[in-house]
Chains A and B, each alone.
Chain A
Amino acid sequence: MPSFVTAIRTAPTVALALLILPVLLGLAGVVAPAFGWHPALGGETWTLAHWQALGNTPGLVDMIRLSLFTGLASALATFGIVALCLATFLETRAFGAIRRLLSPLLAVPHAAAAIGLAFLLTPSGLASRLVSPWLSGWVYPPDYLFPGDSLGLALALGLTLKEIPFLLLMSLAALPQCRAGERLMMARALGYGRINAFLKGVLPALYPLIRLPLYAVIVFATANIEVAMILGPSTPPPLAVAVVRWLGDPDLAMRFQAAAGALLQLGVTAGALLIWWLGERLVSRLAAGWLRDGHRLRGERLGRGIGSLTTWLAIGVLVAALAGLILWSLAGYWPFPEAWPAPLTLHAWQQAATGLGDPLSSTVTIGLAATAIALVLTLGCLEAETHRRRPLGAGAQLILYLPLLVPQVAFLQGLVQWQAQIGLTAGWPAVMLGHALFVLPYTFLSLAESYRRQDPRWRQVAASLGASPANVFLRIRLPMLTAPILVAGAVGFAVSVGQYLPTVLLGGGRLTTLTTEAVNLASGGDRRLTAVYALFQLALPAIGFTLAMTLPRLWWRHRRQMLSGDTA
């Protein structure tokens, strides 16, 4: 069936177009308004006035400083914790437990994690209740500003907690590629302690393989919206949040300033990447001697201590934050400093039930549709690799990361400017495609390893038995890869559920999902209702992962080899 092969071969083109076009069009769409040109809004002369207005914005320097600081600090903390966690736990029994916790923690939407963290650490939060009054002596909530501290420490902490699972997962995928196990064994046989063996023997080879994901972390952390709205300071907020505010300003002239702000954000993020890159150079210069100094046990105990402390602390805080959400959702009257709300009530859940229908159904339908598109394109790209008999080139890999390497607020805003200019209606289809753009990189990264590693003899046997390429794909490859395909789908669905900015901007503010509702509620005062929405937001990805784990077990309960997982 040549038509199948032809169709499959177009998949990479379609996928790359889906990834490149919106980003480039979006960036183009933001440049003209930044310099005054946007006829639909009455801007018909080129001018620098909007840049001057931007420059005169009170607190602009603070906004930029906040973006840079929270972005770089959280990236550095994430990298440090992941490196020490791997050094401490790699090839130990505890590592299995950490590994199993990874996917569920990765699936927690940013907004839900941020809300949980805010409720945990706020002056009247669970953490201060637990130590009051017996230890702290507080009878009233103490007077400190957290979250929302003007330095952005709460924001950096929230970003770090959510990025650790992501970077850890990316590292785990890269470890076999750099033969980490053999390197570790070799170094330890030469008398290096666990920490020294990893830092000196494995990390230099691992780092280049996780550089792109790490850059994605920096980009995300310098330009994130929803975590910053929940945990960051509000006057002034980080730059990206300010840009979104200007964009939603009733005064249409602010749209021009928002466009200029988006370009500035692009520059700030690029600046953060540049600073990190210079840091890389410096460290590799400085570390050259350290790698060869022959010390095998220096700092071993300290490294292990910090490694296990930070790892368990990160997991513990996330879990406590999520547990706190459950308590808040069930709390009635809960005076400080009680650590347990009594009596428990379902009032907030009943209250939420009335308004939940629309956001819930749009979250699910958008998530399923975006994931389906992303999965079809991912499978098409991977199958095309088989027929072209070579994997994606370095350029294509980079394009795959493109939506993660350009600040969302910059190019999504450009797309909105296009919408206004061409008169396209904002709504479900636009939001769904926007989500697919961010889901695609994740489904691809999740599935690529299993797909490429599948023993080529399976399809050779099938073909030599007379099966056409389409039949080999549909009747052999897909069924044998059921489990990893479902996991990739669950990852994609979780990514879609967690999206905030694409929904708000491409939906024209008219489409609500669980995430947009949760973020909106978080800025209001009702903790109970906010907790319910955050828990729903959390439940959807959890259901997705549960299905991805259990469905293959049900389907293949009479096929032992399919359950053991050695079908790749």
Chain B
Amino acid sequence: MSTATLRLEEIVITHDGHPLIEVSASVAPGEVLTLMGPSGVGKSTLLAHVAGFLPLGFRASGHILLGDSDLGCLPPEQRRLGLLFQDPLLFPHLDVGGNLAFGMPAGGSRRQRREEVATALDDIGLAGFAERDPATLSGGQRARVALMRVLLARPRAMLLDEPFSKLDTGLRDEMRRLVFARVHRDGLPTLMVTHDRADAEAAGGPIIEL
């Protein structure tokens, strides 16, 4: 259970010397901060920077803090941030259970891990799906597996990059409810980038217009 606050202190991202985006913000545990704006404004770049994947040609200054730790000093794999893209990006060479196990921290016997996967699948209404090929799942099922894979990695904060934009309208509401319920329950500070106002309203948190 995370209780740390995610703080972006005077983040400035420049592209080839031109300032692109400036943000200072603080996200409390369980709170969703929404960054809204048209495409090309640099909101996805900001998210990539927080996750540790600033693209080539961009430079960033400022501090990214989670509780007391400075994330900027850590390589991406040690930041423990749950990253969700608009595509579920389930690894096509692994089965559904393998995708979930990939997210779980190492340790435990094979049986324990298998049981943990089974519980997690049950949790998202996909009991018995462990050996399925991800390519055979429906869009909504894939989105739920992707969410669960991120949660099983025990993230300390969530980063959502337009996570609902490729879902059908009906599914979209359902996924929003699921994601935000988990975020609130686990007390995860969450940064969401979107251009859909309904996402921001469903999140119920503060909104920064870029």
Contacts and interface: CB of A to CB of B under 8 A. Distances in A.
Contact of B135 (A389, A461, A560): A560
Contacts of B79: 464
B147 to A, nearest CB: 12
14 contacts: A457-B85, A461-B89, A463-B75, A464-B51, A464-B76, A464-B81, A464-B150, A465-B102, A465-B150, A466-B77, A475-B102, A559-B133, A561-B92, A561-B134
B135 A559 contact: yes
B102 A559 contact: no
A464 B75 CA distance: 10
B77 A463 contact: yes
A559 B93 contact: yes
Contacts of A482: 93
Q: 5 tightest CB-CB pairs across the interface, nearest first?
A: A560-B135, A561-B92, A464-B83, A463-B76, A561-B135
Contacts of A60: none
Which of A460, A472, A476, A560 gathers most chain B CB within 10 Å?
A460
B87 interface: yes
A267 interface: no
A458 B91 contact: yes
A317 interface: no
A462 B52 contact: no
A562 B77 contact: no
B91 A465 contact: no
B80 A466 contact: yes
Given A466-B77, A466-B80, A467-B102, A559 B85 contact: no
Interface of A: 389-390, 456-458, 460-469, 472, 475-476, 479-480, 482, 556, 558-562, 567
Contacts of A475: 102
A399 B154 CA distance: 46
Given A464-B76, A464-B81, A466-B80, A562 B92 contact: yes
A465 B92 contact: no
A464 B157 CA distance: 11
A556 B105 contact: no
Contacts of B134: 561
B42 interface: no
Which of B75, B91, B159 gathers most chain A CB within 10 Å?
B91
Contact of B93 (A456, A461, A472, A480): A480
B64 to A, nearest CB: 14
B102 A462 contact: yes
A558 B48 CA distance: 33
Contacts of B48: 460
A562 B93 contact: yes
Nearest to A469: B77
